[in-house]
Structure 1
Amino acid sequence: NVPKGTVDEFSGAQWLDQFRREEAFSSGPSFETISASGLNAALAHYSPTKEQHRKLSSDEMYLLDSGGQYWDGTTDITRTIHWGT
């Protein structure tokens, strides 16, 4: 479940990017993380900002597109999540 009122698009992207930077053999993200909830998930290459972002909700879809640059390769992963019913 989504922790109510505590996770938003911006903080989710920041957490994932920091986690990726701390991984072994990582050089950090390979591109700007797309962390989009609700209507924002329909916007191509949307990226939240500290000033403009949405809170995650169990009533909406959440799109996460991220990638990492590692010593031996590059990753790109996209996930679409819905925590509700």
Structure 2
Amino acid sequence: MANRWLRPEVYPLFAAVGVAVGICGFQLVRNICINPEVRVSKQNRAAGVLENFDEGEKYAENFLRKFSRNRAPEIMPSINSFFADPNRG
């Protein structure tokens, strides 16, 4: 039975599922630990709706969003410009 699942063809599937579970776990831990709208302790839940706009802004404007804000949405810009730019070539 174990020999059926441990074939080399199955390794990419295990890797893809492992990456997906890792991303889900990271997002879960991130939301529980630093999201201003998630309150785990009883004392924080009793506070009700808080007007904490600064904390929400800090959470929403993370490093990756600030880094990619003024960049073109391209994975390989040099290859894209090589094939798409009519002035080249």
Identify the TM-score tier after normalising by the shorter chain.
under 0.3
TM-score normalised over the length of structure 1: 0.20
> Which has more radius of gyration?
2
Select the structure that is richer in strand: 1
Higher helix residue share: 2
